[in-house]
Amino acid sequence: MEKLNILIVGVGGQGTLLSSRILGNVALKLNFDVKVSEVHGMSQRGGSVVTYVKFGKKVYSPIIEKGEADVILAFEKLEALRCIDCLGKDGKMIINEQQIDPMPVIIGKAKYPENIIETLKENNKIYSLDALKIARECGNIKAVNIVLIGVLAKLTGINKDIFVEAIREVVPAKFLEVNLKAFEEGYNYHN
Amino acid sequence: MKKLMLGNEAVARGAYEAGCTVASAYPGTPSTEITEAIAKQYDEIYSEWAPNEKVAMEVAIGASFGGARAICAMKHVGLNVAADPLFTVSYTGVNGGLVIMVADDPGMHSSQNEQDSRNYARASKVPMLEPSDSQECKEYVKKAFSISEQFDTPVIVRLSTRVAHSQSVVELNDKEDYKIKDYIKDAGKYVMMPAMARKRHVVVEKRMADLREYSDSSELNRVKMDSDDIGVITSGIAYQYVKEAMPNASVLKLGMVYPIPEKLIADFASKVKTLYVVEELEPFFEEQILKMGIKVIGKEKLPVIGELSSQIIAERLLGKAIIDASKQSVPVRPPVMCPGCPHRGMFYVLKKLKLNVSGDIGCYTLGALAPNESIDTCVCMGASIGVAHGMEKARGTEFGKKTVAILGDSTFIHSGITGLIDIVYNKGNSTVIILDNSITGMTGHQQNPTTGFTIKGEPTKQVDLELLCKAVGIDRVTVVDPFDIKEFEKVVKTETQIDEPSVIISQRPCALLKNVKYEGVQKINQDKCKRCRMCMKMGCPAIVDKGEHLEIDPALCVGCMLCTKVCGFGAIEKAGE
Ligand code: SF4
Ligand code: SF4
């Protein structure tokens, strides 16, 4: 592996920022140059959130642009659809099957697209799962982000222990056990 | 040791390594984490949240006069607030090194305008540096302290969102052993009344000349020659985009963005066939270089609006086509007030009463968006009150009775209080609603003078908003819970009708605070629900329309119970386990 561009998309409040922090630490442990870029919007919750994690020998721009993502981690279906342009031609996308209606949909000014995952599967390599359910079963619905990181860990082929170590460093002690379980579940989900 | 750090955290680290001992700021995205990191990680530095950016800069100026290395931080619009002391501290110069951090927000991810702070450096005649990644953030801040002392000047360090909020690798060093300088009384230098200021202006012009020379030889400005065909002059984050889009071009990277190194630029220009200037926002370098009589290509090809990217550069300068996947229309996802947000009840009432609402800067600005659609104006921090007063003076008392100003507790202290004094003094009748959610919400939960805690979480005196309003001459001050919708409506109706100014303190803590405990997730009893959709008018993102029926998303609901208060059929109840 010479470089890895990971795009993380989701809805404010879903824990995307923590994921990028973990991935940044993984890169550092692998002795890569790395940039992680996050943009906070107007509120703490509810808006689209986009985070970029780029590893490589030397990383200049912190941003992943159209066609540049090797992996996209989508915390929500609609956000997956929104960023599909960024996926590179051999890129893989991991999607949490959760649906969170944006306000224009809630108030009836827009429609939530149907069959998003099926549509995306037509032309892309998609790994989808109900991460919310898995997180709930592990004991904390907030662990969705770690479930997804588990899936990503398997796909990248990077040594699993490096991920576990990075999670240990970033996640507070009292949530660690649940999160390590969530990671394990995600890791073993797609064979 | 190597560490992954946000640009902002690296700035904090730079201040620490430089032996800085005083930091003051008002939170503002994307600059907030600078001072937060200082407060959290470096006990050697005294840190504080100031009521606004002007005060923050004045505190840093005082610390510098007192002989310490001092730093203050703000976002671009914050520098407007602090512009007054900036222009004069340029004249006085410093004693201990003084660094002013300013974070611009190209693309307006979280701002009301898109200004280019480099113009302030030129206008106030203060040198400005601009780093392009976290490592440089740390180095440039240290450099800024030494330039500040060497040239007796404050130094501005400019960040942009992509530098402030990107993490990259930083090599840590030890702290410098900086000894606080002696305090020397020197009225000619520090008291800026006309006779002294006239002399200081001469000093400033001489300093500019010295700085120009310095800029030409400083290692902050680096040339890397590659191709003789294409040369690019750039700075900050734009440098990273250039390196990505044009790996073979020769580059002059400006680390000192004001004053620019004229000799170096002329020399660089003479070595390449085509010269581009790639800069985000304004043609700041371009205009100065054109004035030198050098031909450059810049804004004729590149946008003056929004962020740059390597693809924009590749497309506009190299003519490479951007991959354009056919885009289906995907519904936008604008930010919304959080489930359980204390402001939601208030907006519900304001909309119901069809009031004109003069708004302000904070999470509650989102009340302008659907479904609340309750805010008519929003200009800058603290403007809500003055704008409401102006509207009343322009359109008369009856219009005034249909108008309220709303602003947050922190915003009120920042610059709302002076507006309120204006209303009292000039016999206005406006009703002002202060949204007291016990925290500075929008920037991510900072303490402020109304919360009773310092930046370090230490208990301190708390501004009593009620007493404060009374002290400036407001006789009618009412405290009310915005989730008590009936009572809230009654109070708003009464206060807007009264022939004197009044303040309503809408008091309920932010739903994201740790100490806020709600009842637990609610659900809609489908047997009792009449599908009248009253609950949806609240605009809580947890309540979703499934077509046939309505549902509460248990992953989003925080159990604030607001929706239960508008349901006329008692259909919303606690969800069982
Ligand atoms: S207000 Fe009550 S009855 Fe009306 S739609 Fe909402 S839950 Fe159903
Ligand atoms: S669904 Fe009701 S109880 Fe739950 S957060 Fe929204 S308004 Fe509050």
For residue range A138-174, list pLDDT tens digits in order. 999 999 999 999 999 999 999 999 999 999 998 999 9
* Helix ranges restricted to H, B246-318: 262-271, 284-291, 310-318
* Ranges assigned E (strand) in chain A: 4-11, 33-38, 48-56, 69-74, 87-96, 125-129
Count the Cβ atoms, other than its own, within 10 Å of residue B397.
11
Most B CBs within 10 Å, among A23, A42, A130, to test the B interface: A42
For B325-365, the pLDDT digits (tens) are 556 689 999 888 989 999 999 999 999 999 999 999 998 99
Measured on CA atoms in the order B452, B453, B454, B455, is the torsion positive or negative? negative
Please indicate if the annotation marks B20 as binding a ligand.
no
Cα-to-chain-centroid distance, residue B10: 18
Q: What is the dihedral of CA A21, B108, B371, A108, to 10 degrees?
A: -80
Q: Flag if B330 and A78 touch (Cβ within 8 Å).
A: yes
Q: Which of A81-90, A101-110, B350-359 has the lowest mean pLDDT?
A: A101-110
Cβ-based neighbours of B437, under 8 Å, separated by 6 or more: B342, B343, B408, B409, B508, B509, B510
B145 neighbors B175 (Cβ within 8 angstroms): no
Cβ-based neighbours of B17, under 8 Å, separated by 6 or more: B138, B142, B172, B173, B174, B175, B176
Q: Is B35 helix (H, G, I), strand (E, B) or coil?
A: helix
Measured on CA atoms in the order A83, A89, A92, A97, is the torsion positive or negative? positive
Distance between CA B512 and CA B411 in Å, rounded?
Answer: 19
B359 is written with which tokens?
């708004």
Distance between CA B565 and CA B542 in Å, rounded?
Answer: 16
Test site for ligand 1: of B485, B522, B523, B535, most ligand atoms within 8 A of the Cβ: B535
- Is the pLDDT at A40 greater than 70? The verdict is no
> What is the H or E stretch that residue B149 is in?
helix B134-151
Distance between CA A184 and CA A141 in Å, rounded?
Answer: 15
Please indicate if the annotation marks B532 as binding a ligand.
yes
Distance between CA A48 and CA A77 in Å, rounded?
Answer: 12
B474 is written with which tokens?
């407001």
Bridge partners (DSSP) of residue B377 are B358
Find, among B392, B439, B388, the residue nearest to B411 by Cα. Answer: B439
Q: Flag if B334 and A102 touch (Cβ within 8 Å).
A: yes
Count the Cβ atoms, other than its own, within 10 Å of residue B174.
7
Min distance B92 CA to chain A CA atoms (Å): 37
Query: Could you say which of A40, A43, A102 has the minimum Cβ distance to residue B332?
Result: A102
Residue closest via CA to ligand 1's atom 2 equals B567
Q: What is the pLDDT of residue B324?
A: 62
Min distance A191 CA to chain B CA atoms (Å): 28
- The reported pTM is 0.95
Instruction: Enumerate domains of chain A plus CATH numbers.
Output: 3-187 (3.40.920.10)
Distance between CA B7 and CA B137 in Å, rounded?
Answer: 6
Q: Flag if B168 and A113 touch (Cβ within 8 Å).
A: no
Q: Flag if A106 and B536 touch (Cβ within 8 Å).
A: yes
B504 neighbors B491 (Cβ within 8 angstroms): yes
A71 neighbors A92 (Cβ within 8 angstroms): yes
Q: Flag if A35 and B168 touch (Cβ within 8 Å).
A: yes
Distance between CA B30 and CA B169 in Å, rounded?
Answer: 19
Q: Which ligand is nearest to the CA of A45?
A: 2
Cβ-based neighbours of A52, under 8 Å, separated by 6 or more: A5, A6, A7, A8, A20, A35, A36, A37, A38, A62, A63, A64
Min distance A165 CA to chain B CA atoms (Å): 15
Q: Flag if A13 and B338 touch (Cβ within 8 Å).
A: yes
In the predicted model, residues of chain B with pLDDT beneath 50 are: none
Find, among B519, B468, B429, B378, the residue nearest to B77 by Cα. Answer: B378
Q: What are phi and psi of B443, to 5 degrees?
A: -85, 0
> Which residue bears the tokens 């359980």?
B340
Q: What is the pLDDT of residue A107?
A: 86
C-beta B569 within 6 A of ligand 1? yes
Distance between CA B19 and CA B372 in Å, rounded?
Answer: 49
Min distance A108 CA to chain B CA atoms (Å): 9
Instruction: Ligand 1, residue B524: give the atom nearest the CA.
Output: 7
Name the closest residue on chain B to residue A12, using Cα atoms.
Answer: B335
Q: Is B177 exposed, middle or buried (0-12, 13-18, 19+ CB in 10 A)?
A: exposed
Cβ-based neighbours of A60, under 8 Å, separated by 6 or more: B240, B241, B243, B244, B310
- Is the pLDDT at A1 greater than 90? The verdict is no
Residue closest via CA to ligand 2's atom 2 equals B563
Query: Could you say which of B109, B310, B324 has the minimum Cβ distance to residue A39?
Result: B109
Q: Which ligand is nearest to the CA of B566?
A: 1
Q: What is the DSSP letter of B412?
A: I
What is the share, in percent, of chain A residues with pLDDT greater than 70?
97
Cβ-based neighbours of B38, under 8 Å, separated by 6 or more: B12, B15, B16, B23, B45, B47, B71
Please indicate if the annotation marks B363 as binding a ligand.
no
The count of residues in chain B is 577
Please indicate if the annotation marks B563 as binding a ligand.
yes
Q: What is the pLDDT of residue A43?
A: 54
Name the closest residue on chain B to residue A133, using Cα atoms.
Answer: B555
Instruction: Enumerate domains of chain B plus CATH numbers.
Output: 2-217 (3.40.50.970), 222-318 (3.40.50.920), 342-507 (3.40.50.970), 522-574 (3.30.70.20)
Instruction: Quickly state the pLDDT bin for A108 (edges 50, 70, 90).
Output: confident
